[in-house]
Amino acid sequence: MSRQEKTKFITKDILGSSIKGAFVKLNPMYMMKNPVMFVVEVGFVICTILVFFPHLFNDKGDNLSLYNAIVAIILFITLLFANFAESVAEGRGKAQAETLKKTKKDTKARLIHEDGSEEMISASELQKGDVVLVKAGELIPNDGEIIEGIASIDESAITGESAPVTKESGGDFASVTGGTTVVSDWIKVEITSEPGHSFLDKMIALVEGASRQKTPNEIALNTLLVSLTIIFLIVIVTIYPMANYSEVQIPISTLIALTVCLIPTTIGALLSAIGIAGMDRVTRFNVIAMSGKAVEACGDVDTMILDKTGTITFGNRLASDFIPVSGIKKEELTEYAWIASIGDDTPEGKSTVELAEKFGCQLQRKNYENAEFIEFTAASKMSGVNTTDGHVVRKGAGDAMIQYVKENGGKVPDDLTLKVDEVSKLGGTPLVVCADYRILGVIYLKDTVKPGLVERFERLRKIGIKTIMCTGDNPLTAATIAAEAGVDGYIAECKPEDKIEAIKKEQSEGKIVAMTGDGTNDAPALAQANVGIAMNSGTSAAKEAANMVDLDSDPTKILEVVEIGKQLLITRGSLTTFSIANDIAKYFAIIPAMFQAVIPQLSVLNIMGLQTSESAILSALIFNAVIIPCLIPLAMKGVKYKPMSASKMLGRNMLIYGLGGVICPFLGIKIIDMIIAPLLVLLGL
């Protein structure tokens, strides 16, 4: 089961740890990391002091201690809600880390010395360069490269996928991850990471948030929030002498309430949770991001470079069409192609049978159960069937089939060479079919584009992302596949250095580039790209060079990762818009309430019809606190992403979160006022 499947938003364990974390994070040294919420905490401390010393600042009024206490309690709850939001995000990551830690037991490793002797040691004692022997049923003790042997390996502890994969020495798929299990056979592994620095260690640290650093966009937004906070603090400081000049007595706790309501506390409380949740969403999609910056960069991608084989196409050449020679009906060619392929278990053979049946072939397999199947060999370059009723059916490479037919007295059609050449020029593989030494035509095999990619590339095009396909094929074949897949461009006869040049060219134009790869030769390009996604089945060099690793080794997942990055940026932008729009309603609630006693004309601004100045201020403050936990699910799950242009996206977010951010507090504050106003009367406020 993949981790990208839906999980509970919050479990009993996460709830308990989050509540505890909400109190622990009240430590001023921790709160200083979030300047907006630190201002709220300072306000809470001042209000708490005023509970016991109500006239410390020459404030006057009846029941001032009670009023100060109510403001202090609401501010305290606001702080707890903000810390709770961050703790929930961290709790989900830590819960996932605990699952990963279960694979990191104190396992034993069978160390192989230079003289060939074996020694059982703790896996934690292994050093880079050590060679270990891992047998069936044993855990691989640390990251490494297979140097000898072949084995089936269960990677479900890391990837969440139950199907084991085959790994062997040599090539691009010799990399193994610590914590995975050898299911069959044995392998010798050379350790490639130091203790505590394995891929699994990095995953645990990342999902726990221990090594998470603020991204450039997050730092910029933090700077904006701090600037807004300073501006509002200056405004509040100037209001106090202005009020005194107008002979309006404003309690200090009211000024603190005004400050807290007008500074962007909502986004300040949720900003960290949004960042943590963004990395969590990518991880739950079975992609490990080496930093929050990598996730965020996905949201800014302008150009996506993809390999053709295995990414855009299946990599196996599958039957695409049947091309008869002159004088032969397509139906006859289709039937004999089906007969020649029923014993062929290769992807080419299976696809030929499927295509023939799709074209209407109705022959029955049971009629050929006793037929003699001729296996393909490198020497003959053909395969086929000798039926029980004496028919000889073959399919194979053009030159081999021509020689075979001539040797058995058959005639080669005049247009056969033309048909074969046409398929070859398109980058396909022609398989010639003959029955009883009579050539019927050609099976057109080609590398088939994966279903659904055309729509996905169109989705990316709508949001302004250009797709470029890299392939080693000739220009004609590359053009054919590119047109079929719907990519925006292609590089034919592409070498590793050509990928780097393509990335640099796009980056020189100020674009953010994403790329996927799995081989050692992809490592330089993965390192050069702004977003490099390496396959978990690939080499250690590729994984080290990339800033993301796809645990499922699905190259096309880069498309979804980009959308997750977009969702992160949109979520942050939407909630920032909502938070700032909230301040408009709070302004109309508090400012008229503060001054309408001495400036009656300001009552026209009391458009919500709030009952008293105290109820107006407390209602705005309560709404300011309550809205934070209400937005936690949205911050964690993210704003729903739909591919569209930047201008449409901005308009949509302004309409939903801008207008919604204005209307929601108007309604919320009014409802809260209707509830608490009678209570304040009973309390004598």
Q: What is the mean pLDDT of the chain?
A: 82
Q: Answer yes or no: do 481 and 379 share one domain.
A: no
661: in domain: yes
Please name which of 31, 74, 36, 66 lies closest in space to residue 50, comparing C-alpha atoms: 66
Q: Give the Cα-Cα-Cα angle 481, 483, 484 (nearest 5 degrees).
A: 65
CA distances from 663 to 260, 580, 608, 666, 672 (A): 19, 12, 11, 5, 14
Which amino acid, residue 497? Answer: E
522: in domain: yes
Q: Answer yes or no: do 79 and 211 share one domain.
A: yes
Q: Is 341 known as a binding-site position?
A: no
**492: alpha, beta or left, given left = phi > 0 and alpha = psi -120 to 50?**
beta
Structure tokens at 186: 């044995």
pLDDT for position 58:
64
> Lowest-confidence range among 395-399, 461-465, 658-662?
461-465
Coil, strand, or helix at residue 178?
A: coil
CATH number of 153's domain = 2.70.150.10
Q: Is 378 known as a binding-site position?
A: yes
Q: Is 395 known as a binding-site position?
A: yes
189: in domain: yes
Please name which of 104, 110, 154 lies closest in space to residue 131, comparing C-alpha atoms: 110
- How big is the chain, counted in residues? 685
Task: Categorize the per-residue pLDDT at 255 as very low, low, confident or very high, splitting at 50, 70 and 90.
Answer: confident
Q: Is 344 known as a binding-site position?
A: yes
Q: Answer yes or no: do 277 and 384 share one domain.
A: no
CATH number of 476's domain = 3.40.50.1000
Residue 559 confidence (pLDDT) above 90: no
Task: Categorize the per-residue pLDDT at 8 as very low, low, confident or very high, splitting at 50, 70 and 90.
Answer: low
Average pLDDT over residues 138-166: 77
652: in domain: yes
Tell me the pLDDT tens digit for each residue of 324-352: 999 999 999 999 999 999 988 888 899 99
The alpha carbon of residue 95 and the mean position of all alpha carbons in its chain are separated, in whole angstroms, by: 19
Listed residues 490, 523, 551: the one ending a domain:
551
Average pLDDT over residues 598-617: 76
1: in domain: no
Q: Answer yes or no: do 156 and 167 share one domain.
A: yes
Q: Count how many Cα atoms sit within 13 Å of the Cα of residue 36 in the half-sphere of its side chain.
A: 27
The C-alpha torsion from 597 through 600 and 603 to 609, rounded to 10°, is 50
CATH number of 363's domain = 3.40.1110.10
Q: Answer yes or no: do 433 and 520 share one domain.
A: no
113: in domain: no
Q: Is 269 known as a binding-site position?
A: no
Average pLDDT over residues 462-474: 84
Q: Answer yes or no: do 412 and 331 share one domain.
A: yes
- The span from the CA of 47 to the CA of 412, in Å, is 99
Give backbone dihedrals phi and psi of 606, rounded to 5 degrees, phi first.
Answer: -80, 65
- The span from the CA of 134 to the CA of 167, in Å, is 13
Annotated catalytic residue 307: yes
- The span from the CA of 81 to the CA of 99, in Å, is 27
Please name which of 497, 489, 494 lies closest in space to residue 528, comparing C-alpha atoms: 497
- The span from the CA of 172 to the CA of 519, in Å, is 5
- The span from the CA of 639 to the CA of 301, in Å, is 19
Q: Answer yes or no: do 359 and 222 share one domain.
A: no
Q: Is 108 known as a binding-site position?
A: no
Average pLDDT over residues 446-458: 82
- The span from the CA of 685 to the CA of 677, in Å, is 9
Q: Answer yes or no: do 352 and 374 share one domain.
A: yes
3-state helix, strand, coil in the chain (%, to 5): 55, 15, 30
pLDDT for position 3:
42
Which amino acid, residue 25? Answer: K
200: in domain: no
**What residues are paired with 392 via a beta bridge?**
386
> Lowest-confidence range among 137-141, 318-322, 413-417?
137-141
Average pLDDT over residues 184-210: 72
Q: Is 59 known as a binding-site position?
A: no
Structure tokens at 679: 């209570």
Listed residues 408, 424, 448: the one ending a domain:
448
Q: Give the Cα-Cα-Cα angle 538, 539, 542 (nearest 5 degrees).
A: 90
- Domain hosting 141: range is 127-193
Which amino acid, residue 492? Answer: A
- Pairs from 197-205 (Cβ < 8 Å, separation ≥ 24): 198/142, 198/143, 199/143, 199/288, 199/543, 199/549, 200/100, 200/103, 200/104, 200/143, 200/158, 201/104, 202/288, 202/290, 203/97, 203/100, 203/158, 203/283, 203/288, 204/97, 204/100, 204/101, 204/104
Total of domains in the chain: 4
- The span from the CA of 417 to the CA of 423, in Å, is 10
> Lowest-confidence range among 44-53, 487-496, 593-602?
593-602
Which of 307, 550, 552, 673 does the annotation list as catalytic? 307
The pTM score is 0.63
Q: Answer yes or no: do 407 and 459 share one domain.
A: no
The alpha carbon of residue 573 and the mean position of all alpha carbons in its chain are separated, in whole angstroms, by: 18
Q: Answer yes or no: do 246 and 300 share one domain.
A: no
Average pLDDT over residues 426-443: 90
Q: Is 334 known as a binding-site position?
A: no
Residue 365 confidence (pLDDT) above 50: yes
101: in domain: no
Q: Answer yes or no: do 359 and 461 share one domain.
A: no
Q: Answer yes or no: do 182 and 62 share one domain.
A: no
